[in-house]
Amino acid sequence: MAEQSPNGDVETKEVEQQDQVVDPWSVSGGADGRIDYNKLLEQFGCSKLTEDLVERVERLTGRPAHPFLKRGIFFAHRDLQEILDCYEKGIPFYLYTGRGPSSEALHLGHLVPFMFTKYLQDAFNVPLVIQLTDDEKCLWRGLDIDEARRLARENAKDIIACGFDVSKTFIFSDFEYVGGAFYRNIIRIQRCVTMNQVRGIFGFTPEDNIGKIAFPAVQAAPSFPDCFPHMFGQRKDIRCLIPCAIDQDPYFRMTRDVAPRIGHLKPALIESKFFPALQGESGKMSASDSNSAIFVNDTPAQIKDKINKYAFSGGGATVEEHRAKGANLAVDVPWKYLNFFMEDDAKLANIGQEYGAGRMLTGEIKKELITVLTDMVSRHQRARAQVTDDVVDAFMAVRPMPCV
Ligand code: TRP
Q: How far apart are CA 278 and CA 313, in angstroms?
A: 10
Phi, psi (rounded to 5 degrees) for 140:
-95, -35
Query: Mean of the pLDDT values across residues 23-28?
Result: 86
State residue 237's pLDDT score. 96
State residue 32's pLDDT score. 78
348-384 pLDDT, tens digit per residue, is 999 999 999 999 999 999 999 999 999 999 999 999 9
State residue 403's pLDDT score. 76
351 C-alpha vs ligand 1 centroid, how far in Å?
A: 34
* Range of lowest pLDDT (19-33, 201-215, 250-264): 19-33
State residue 310's pLDDT score. 95
Kindly report the protein residue whose alpha carbon is nearest to atom 8 of ligand 1: 98
* Three-class SS state of 312: coil
Q: Is 133 in the pocket of ligand 1 (CB under 6 A)?
A: yes
196 C-alpha vs ligand 1 centroid, how far in Å?
A: 23
State residue 350's pLDDT score. 98
Q: Is 98 in the pocket of ligand 1 (CB under 6 A)?
A: yes
Rounded to two decimals, what is the model's pTM? 0.94
Alpha helices in 246-332 (DSSP H): 249-258, 300-310, 319-325
Q: How far apart are CA 238 and CA 86, in angstroms?
A: 10
151-164 pLDDT, tens digit per residue, is 999 999 999 999 99
The overall average pLDDT reported for the chain is 93
Q: Choose the residue to mutate in 244, 256, 272, 274 for probing ligand 1, maximizing ligand atoms within 8 Å of C-beta.
A: 244
State residue 1's pLDDT score. 32
364 C-alpha vs ligand 1 centroid, how far in Å?
A: 36
264-293 pLDDT, tens digit per residue, is 999 999 999 999 999 987 655 566 678 889
Kindly report the protein residue whose alpha carbon is nearest to atom 3 of ligand 1: 100
Q: Is 7 in the pocket of ligand 1 (CB under 6 A)?
A: yes
Beta bridge partners of 268: 241
150 C-alpha vs ligand 1 centroid, how far in Å?
A: 17
245 C-alpha vs ligand 1 centroid, how far in Å?
A: 9
* Three-class SS state of 240: strand
Where residue 404 falls among pLDDT bands split at 50, 70, 90? confident
State residue 284's pLDDT score. 54
State residue 285's pLDDT score. 57
309-323 pLDDT, tens digit per residue, is 999 999 999 999 999
Where residue 29 falls among pLDDT bands split at 50, 70, 90? confident
% pLDDT > 90, the chain:
86
State residue 17's pLDDT score. 56
Q: How far apart are CA 72 and CA 83, in angstroms?
A: 19
CB within 8 A of 76, min separation 6: which ones?
Answer: 37, 40, 41, 44, 46, 47, 48, 49, 246, 269, 270, 271
Beta bridge partners of 21: 28
State residue 15's pLDDT score. 44
